[in-house]
Amino acid sequence: MSNIEQTLSIIKPDAVERNLDNEIKEIFRNKGFKIIKEKKIQIEKSEAEKFYKVHETKPFYSDLCSYLSSGPIVVMILEKEKGVLANRELMGATNPKDAEEGTLRKKYGISIDKNSVHGSDSLENAKIEIDFFFKD
Ligand code: CMP
């Protein structure tokens, strides 16, 4: 049985602002991810609040949503064998300080907020997050 999975990736404002989006997309492709769909957009804070609703009780929720809506982002559907976990491994730990060598957050992340990329944390959430950005 095939284990091909789709997952949602976001290149966050700090990385797009530094023109790192093409470089990051190239890393995904080199690691065997297919970019099935992509778009560069800027979202409203109210949309970020919906996207990050699971975090609504966290103290950092408002800042997080302000940040995600502060500038252009690139949202992508990535596809690969066991893609959800593969993407999380390539991203590295949430806090760039804890991220391992060779991960995107180690290479590009500035802080726990400006950690350059987001990726779905489970197959179930990947479907929800893909629908959020790509359901027509
Ligand atoms: P992300 O994977 O996009 O999911 C939620 C984001 O909240 C996370 O990356 C971080 O950028 C941000 N964040 C800010 N503060 C924290 C924190 N204390 N713990 C976890 N995530 C945080």
Residue 113 C-alpha to ligand 1 middle, in angstroms? 6
CA of 119, closest atom in ligand 1: 2
Nearest CA to ligand 1 atom 4: 118
Structural domain includes residue 105: yes
Range of the domain at 113: 4-43+72-133
Distance 112 CA to ligand 1 centre (A): 6
Which of 17, 38, 40, 27 lies closest to 107 in space, CA to CA? 27
CATH code of the domain in which 85 resides: 3.30.70.141
Residue 24 covered by a domain: yes
In this prediction, residue 94 carries a pLDDT of 98
Tens digits of residue pLDDT in 78-102: 999 999 999 999 999 999 999 999 9
Half-sphere exposure of 136 (CA within 13 A, CB side): 1
Residue whose CA lies nearest to ligand 1 atom number 12: 113
112-117 mean pLDDT: 98
H helices of 55-110, in order, are 61-68, 83-91, 104-108
The confidence score (pLDDT) of residue 2 equals: 86
Count of domains forming the chain = 1
d(CA 68, CA 103) in angstroms, rounded, equals: 21
pLDDT, position 80: 98
Residues in contact with 53: Cβ distance below 8 Å, sequence separation at least 6, in sequence order: none
Using a cut of 0.95, tell me whether the model's pTM lies above it.
yes
Quick one: pLDDT at residue 99?
98
